[in-house]
Structure 1
Amino acid sequence: MIHSFFSANGYVFELLFATAFYIWGQKHRKNFVMRVFTVVIGMLMVSMLWQLLPIKNPLTDSMRTAVFFVLCTLGVTFCFHVNFMESAFYNTAAAATQHLCFKAASSVVMLFTRNGIEISVLNDIVYVAAIVVFEAVCGLFFGNKLRKESLKTTHTSSPTVLLLLIGMQLCTNWFQNLFDKYDVGYKPYTVFVMFDMICCLFLLMLQCEIVRNQKEQESNAIMQHLLYQQKQQMKLSQETIDLINVKCHDIKNQIATLGNNIPEDELADLKRAIDIYDTAFKSGNEVLDVLLMEKFMQCENKKIRLDCMIDGELLSFMKKSDVYALFGNAIDNAIEAVDKINDEEKRCINIRVKKSRGMILIHVENQYLGELSFEEGLPQTTKKDKRYHGFGMKSIRMIVEKYHGFLSAGSKDNIFSLDILLPVPK
């Protein structure tokens, strides 16, 4: 009784087990356990009712697979906070995993049968053990890749999912049922199984690649938007600094006019304050001077020393917006790190731009607290929400690559250093 039940309805358990590896990390809906129980019971009831159909042929078998795919997809949206298209994407991977592992487990059982072991119960045990192991391996490998780049950040498009579903159904459903109907021997079956498994593997690899590419496209779009914002900020900063310089000049003239009417100590404090805002950087690059003035005032407010030795003329070949974005992101990251340090002697940012061995060397150095982790050569953001953070270093790398340069980031003894080498244009 139990054996026949699981033999008739095993596909439901195999599909749900595979689905769990791809969807489990998503946020649960309220009354999650009851929802899962409802989905499992519902799918089992449909499976048992399907056994009562008077007609069984490749068409009805294929329809059965398609029906359970839709039910499982709806079940995922019922239990988790995902929309139908996201659920369909995950379940496409789950269905491909189930079919791949079904073929692999069936092949293992066939090996037992060919070697003279035809005990039904033993074959069932071997099949169950094999498919559990195979689904766990595939689910963990491909599931981790898909969950790592959450579909919440990738907006899977309808045509993409539709093409994946059609390809999967054709390769792993319709053809399989037709072959089962017109099986002509062991060798053709073996060839078909290999073809079937390879199709499933390619489908899973394709899904992982789609998610990865969509994640990169979203990252690039965010970086382009940030670069545009920085370009607008550059224009605003130029206007602000020009206005400050004019006002400082006017205030100096007013102080000179007032003369002895202001106490000496107040006059000294006032001149010191004006000097801070009237400081002019002369690096040889107008945009860089504006940026350094802006960052210098930020550092003064936070009591951070900004130590610069910069030959800005070396950067004259770069677009103004690229200069502003590159140094702006580098200094912002340094300010954020140094601002967490209480020791005044360590609250310092060093910036160097010079020509060295036919290359332009840009060096930014600062101390930091805590631990830094690196991925693909770049330090990772320490903020909890990593989706919209960490793009500063990525935009720096993008600008460096635009000018065919090299970027190196490293840390030692709680000192972070960023080194950029740019070829000198001929």
Structure 2
Amino acid sequence: MIGDLPTDIPRGFTAFAEWSACLVYILLLRKRFTPPILALSLGLGLGLLWAVQTFAGGLPIALWTAGMAMAVAAMFGVVVVCADVSTREAGYFTARAFVLAELVASLHWQLYSYAVDQGFTGVGIQVGLLVLVYGAAFTAAYLIERRHFPPDQRLDVDRRGLLSAASIAAVTFLMSNVSFVSSNTPFSAQFGPEIFYIRTLVDLAGYVALYAQQGQRLELQRAVEVEAMNRMLRSQHEQYLHSKRNIDIVHRKYHDLKHFVTAIRSENDPDAKASYLDQLEESIQGYGAQVETGNAVLDTILTSRTAQCAELGITLTCVVDGAALSFMDAMGLSALFGNALDNAIESSATLPDPENRLVRVAVYTQNSLVLVRFENYHVGDLEFDDGIPRTTKGDALNHGYGLRNMRQVVEGYGGSLTVHAESGWFVVRALIPLPER
């Protein structure tokens, strides 16, 4: 009886499998719309996939691959419309969804063919198995994939990752369906049960390969994050050494000041004495500037950066209400202000014109929000990725964590962080809601 069963899965079942696979990954990602609009978009997506599969089913066998390419394009459109991801990320998830859909559809049809061979026929058996297999398989896929795609983690799909996923999906599709296209190949099966088994097994292998690929990507990303943390620790040690050098400079300056005071006291010429006083005032600029904001942590951060700016010829202007940020802990303040000021100082120090070496910091409250704003003069164009400028350093994999850490800190307090360039200024702005008293 199984020999009479068509090896090609009904197009309606295939469309529903493709839509369900897209739904699995859309649920794991950030959504582009509110739930009502998302539900409408998903409904339209199901209709689109159904129409594409119905149209492809009427094409001659020579255009069968082209019909499947149309279905993949429709799946890509559903992911792009419903999920808040980039085009590259949408392509990556479309490849994964396509293999998952092929696997589940093939598994259902193989089980149904076995039921028919055992004498269980009828629409009820077919639909019952569809609900059971599709429901269990896609639910299991969601639970398994949730470990690999946490909602608070960036995807960072690069070109190599996209090409690798697309290649695995293409090879899986071709090898699993070669028996359907032609039975005269070294990899083709001759009988129905063999065709079903090969198709399901190859699809399973493709899905496992994609799952392992994502696991490897996560391991690599974790290794990069650990290395970044190690670099931060080394940077903290370097800052300690820098502070120690500053203390040594202050001690030497104190020693020199004693000679200045002695010279001033012994000088009888008023003009010479005035000249000594001018030299004395110039020599101590930047060493006694203690920033007071009403927040001890901010005072320390801004005072140290003020001394650093004075050494580099950068003008740092601060209008900061530190008391407004008293609800933030020391780690959060250090990550937010330390990263922002380090980036601004690093960018300003490279400007050839000293007049443009300007950094401005402002913190104030407005209604129930605290507004934090960092500005520095900037020359050149910036490329943004997910609202954050791409690092200009050559080793992009190991840099660019500062602004991400800042965004994570701000979002941890229920706020938002935006970055943009306007009129020659690079502006980082954070809006943080004041906690209810």
| Bucket of the pairwise TM-score, normalised by the shorter protein | 0.5 to 0.7
**Residues 97 and 200 in structure 1, CA contact (< 8 A), matched pair in contact too:** no
Aligned to 1:341, the other structure's residue is in SS state coil
CA RMSD in angstroms comes to 3.7
- Distance of 1:422 and 1:195 partners within structure 2: 51
Residue 108 of structure 1 aligns with which residue? 181
The reply to whether residue 298 of structure 1 matches residue 308 of structure 2 is: yes
Aligned to 2:431, the other structure's residue is in SS state strand
Distance 1:95 1:382, change over 3 A: closer
Residue 276 of structure 1 aligns with which residue? 286
1:361 to 356, 371, 381: 371
Aligned to 1:352, the other structure's residue is in SS state strand
2:205 to 187, 200, 203: 200
**Residues 234 and 324 in structure 1, CA contact (< 8 A), matched pair in contact too:** no
Residue 33 of structure 1 aligns with which residue? none
The reply to whether residue 314 of structure 1 matches residue 324 of structure 2 is: yes
**Residues 260 and 276 in structure 2, CA contact (< 8 A), matched pair in contact too:** no
Partner letter of residue 344 of structure 1?
Answer: P
Q: Deviations over 1:33-58 (max 9, x none)?
A: xxxxxxxxxxxxxxxxxxxxxxxxxx
Aligned to 1:276, the other structure's residue is in SS state coil
Map 1:234-383; keep pairs closer than 5 Å. Answer: 255-256=260-261, 258-261=263-266, 263-264=272-273, 265-383=275-393
Partner letter of residue 177 of structure 2?
Answer: A
Residue 56 of structure 1 aligns with which residue? none
Q: Deviations over 1:124-154 (max 9, x none)?
A: 7xx9xxxxxxxxxxxxxxxxxxxxxxxxxxx
- The alpha-carbon deviation at position 247 of structure 1 amounts to 7.7
Q: Deviations over 1:45-74 (max 9, x none)?
A: xxxxxxxxxxxxxxxxxxxxxxxxxxxxxx
- Distance of 1:216 and 1:91 partners within structure 2: 17
Q: Deviations over 1:192-238 (max 9, x none)?
A: 34423431331233133213322432344345445555666777788
Partner letter of residue 386 of structure 2?
Answer: E
**Residues 292 and 299 in structure 2, CA contact (< 8 A), matched pair in contact too:** yes
Select between 233-242 and 334-343 the one with higher mean Cα deviation. 233-242
- The alpha-carbon deviation at position 266 of structure 1 amounts to 3.9
Distance 1:238 1:288, change over 3 A: farther
- The alpha-carbon deviation at position 275 of structure 1 amounts to 3.0
Distance 1:400 1:196, change over 3 A: same
Aligned to 2:177, the other structure's residue is in SS state helix
Q: Which runs of 5+ in 1 are unaligned?
A: 1-89, 111-119, 128-175
Q: Deviations over 1:149-183 (max 9, x none)?
A: xxxxxxxxxxxxxxxxxxxxxxxxxxx99xx6xx7
Partner letter of residue 174 of structure 2?
Answer: C
Residue 423 of structure 1 aligns with which residue? 433
2:215 to 207, 210, 213: 210
- Distance of 1:409 and 1:229 partners within structure 2: 27
Partner letter of residue 209 of structure 2?
Answer: L
Distance 1:368 1:93, change over 3 A: closer
Identity, % of aligned pairs? 26
Q: Deviations over 1:241-265 (max 9, x none)?
A: 7887788778767644543346442
- The alpha-carbon deviation at position 309 of structure 1 amounts to 0.6
Q: TM-score, normalization: structure 1?
A: 0.53
Select between 292-301 and 194-203 the one with higher mean Cα deviation. 194-203
- The alpha-carbon deviation at position 331 of structure 1 amounts to 1.0
Distance 1:270 1:108, change over 3 A: farther
Aligned to 1:387, the other structure's residue is in SS state helix
Partner letter of residue 376 of structure 1?
Answer: D
Q: Which runs of 5+ in 2 are unaligned?
A: 1-162
- Distance of 1:91 and 1:238 partners within structure 2: 48
- The alpha-carbon deviation at position 308 of structure 1 amounts to 0.9
- The alpha-carbon deviation at position 104 of structure 1 amounts to 2.9
Residue 424 of structure 2 aligns with which residue? 414
- Distance of 2:253 and 2:341 partners within structure 1: 25
Distance 1:91 1:348, change over 3 A: closer
- Distance of 1:231 and 1:317 partners within structure 2: 24
- Distance of 2:164 and 2:415 partners within structure 1: 43
- Distance of 2:296 and 2:166 partners within structure 1: 54
Map 1:368-407; keep pairs closer than 5 Å. Answer: 368-407=378-417
